[in-house]
Structure 1
Amino acid sequence: MFDFVGKFFKGRPEKQKPVVRQTVKSRGQLKQASARSKGIAFDSGLIQNLEKDHEMLVEIFGKIWSEGYEKSDFDVVSRHLSEFKSLFQSHLLKENVKFYAYLEQAMKKDSHSLSVVREFRKDMNDIANAVIGFCKKYDKPEYTKVAHESFKKDYQGIGQALVRRVQLEERDLYSLYAPS
């Protein structure tokens, strides 16, 4: 299947790799840079950015229903599901890489708070799996049309889980994000 990759590299002439020597000075600079950049840095605009994502996700999620499902336009349902899934995955990446990693780093000496943050993260991952599963299940217009009733039930369940989660994050969790 991926034979083209091997063929590509087989046909290329061997290049000698340059030898990199590390001087005492460069090792010292490397250590200083490493000490300065340990961990995830605080991002003063992160919470505002995450909340903006929430607004956009809620808007798109609403369009799935109002512009697609209610009008029995399953092409629109599919299109908005794709848009929603893409933004949702981007949002999750930001949360996992910047938000949760930062909180875990900042709270590593407070085992109770760290445990709470990790539980929030685990809960979000469970919700994420359900949301992505929902998007994949109904991403084909013809399937959504056949599964009209189950879509309605699944949509409502996902919507309730997302609303609960967004409220919890914005009300409780985001307040923990502060410069350390």
Structure 2
Amino acid sequence: MFGFISDFFSGREKDAPAPELAQAPKPGATTIAYDPNLIAALEADHSKLVELYGKMWDEGFEKKNYVKLSRILAEFKSLFQGHLLKENVRFYVYLEQSLGKDKHTLAVVKEFRTDMNDIANAVIGFCKRYSKGAFTSAMEAQFKKDYTAVGEALTRRVQSEERDLYSLYQPS
């Protein structure tokens, strides 16, 4: 039903293991070190989020199995929040420190970060709204609209991150 999101990820390995992340910096360190595995880990998160997004519809909503939908939403929300933390703490902070002298690119990165926070609030709200386990007919109709809107927003965001933003992540 929602090919726009699966089309983008159709070329990826479905069960590719997430790469190991580099060790955390030593206590007292004031900078974030470059992690050669970070982008692959973020992209693996994207693939898993897309898989869970599809399951929301296929295994939960479409079958009117709202208990299962609630579980999938909880898993999606947890992975999404972990992904955001990884991006905010390891990716954006590193970019901001490594692009400190490039004011224009730094401004673009900060705008991406602000936009992602807006999307994150909408996605978390969606997960909370529909994780109750019971649906009214009005909720069913609204879920379809909200599900589509979330999918479209995430697809646009992931495409722009992977196409434009992740290429900025380079060793200093």
User: Shared fold (TM-score greater than 0.5)?
Assistant: yes
Which of residues 66, 70, 76 is equivalent to 2:68?
76
Distance 1:144 1:178, change over 3 A: farther
Distance 1:55 1:94, change over 3 A: same
* TM-score between the two structures when normalised by the length of structure 1: 0.78
For 1:143 and 1:135, how far apart are their aligned partners in 2? 14
Percent identical pairs in the alignment equals: 62
Q: What is the one-letter code of the residue matched to 1:38?
A: T
Q: What is the one-letter code of the residue matched to 1:121?
A: R
* TM-score between the two structures when normalised by the length of structure 2: 0.82
Q: How is 1:26-175 mapped onto 2 (pairs within 5 angstroms)?
A: 37-143=29-135, 147-175=139-167
Structure 1 residues not aligned, in runs of 5+? 1-32
Q: What is the one-letter code of the residue matched to 1:48?
A: A
Q: Give SS of 1:56's match.
A: helix
For 1:127 and 1:177, how far apart are their aligned partners in 2? 22
Q: CA RMSD in A?
A: 1.4
Q: What is the one-letter code of the residue matched to 1:72?
A: K
Native 8 Å contact 1:74 1:144 kept in 2: no
Which string of whole-angstrom CA distances, capped at 9 and with x for unpartnered residues, describes residues 111-145 of structure 1? 11110000000000000000000001111111466
Query: Which is higher, the Rg of structure 1 or of structure 2?
Result: 1
Structure 2 residues not aligned, in runs of 5+? 1-26
Q: Give SS of 1:141's match.
A: coil
Q: Where does structure 1 differ by over 6 angstroms across 4 or more consecutive aligned residues?
A: none
Paired residue total: 146
Q: Counting helix residues as a fraction of each chain, which structure ranks higher?
A: 1
